[in-house]
Amino acid sequence: GAGVSQSPSNKVTEKGKDVELRCDPISGHTALYWYRQRLGQGLEFLIYFQGNSAPDKSGLPSDRFSAERTGESVSTLTIQRTQQEDSAVYLCASSAIQRAHYYEQYFGPGTRLTVT
């Protein structure tokens, strides 16, 4: 079946502009995660959604970052007033949950954001 998809695959933007990154999780996966990966580094947790529960935003680096999710489907990560340090690959993942047991995460290909 279809995996996690993300769009756009690449985004170049000027410093100070806002950007929106989209994630389509695997159908039926109720958990959705966003991570940031700077060049040559590991993944940095940003935010997590689970069903209708309040999202865990503890990883968002500043108030310029926000994310929304419509039900158990598409999610959008928005970065306002982009800065050069926001340049990174933004990865989305989803996972299934059954009886409070969280299964492995399936990752999308990522969106490479470059702020000039």
Partner 1 sequence: DAKTTQPPSMDCAEGRAANLPCNHSTISGNEYVYWYRQIHSQGPQYIIHGLKNNETNEMASLIITEDRKSSTLILPHATLRDTAVYYCIVRANTNAGKSTFGDGTTLTVKP
Name the token pair of 33. Answer: 């995660």
110 binds partner 1 (CB under 8 A): yes
Residue 56 DSSP code: B
Residue 24 in 3-state DSSP?
Answer: strand
Specify the stretch interacting with partner 1 by CB under 8 A; choose among 12-20, 39-47, 64-72, 74-82.
39-47
**Minimum separation from the CB atom of position 2 to partner 1 (A):** 14
Specify the stretch interacting with partner 1 by CB under 8 A; choose among 11-19, 35-43, 62-70, 75-83.
35-43
Selected from 19, 29, 33, 82, the binder of partner 1 by CB under 8 A is: 33
80 binds partner 1 (CB under 8 A): no
Beta carbons of 1 and 96 less than 8 angstroms apart:
no
With DSSP H G I counted as helix, E B as strand and the rest as coil, what are the percentages for the chain, rounded to 5?
Answer: 5, 50, 45
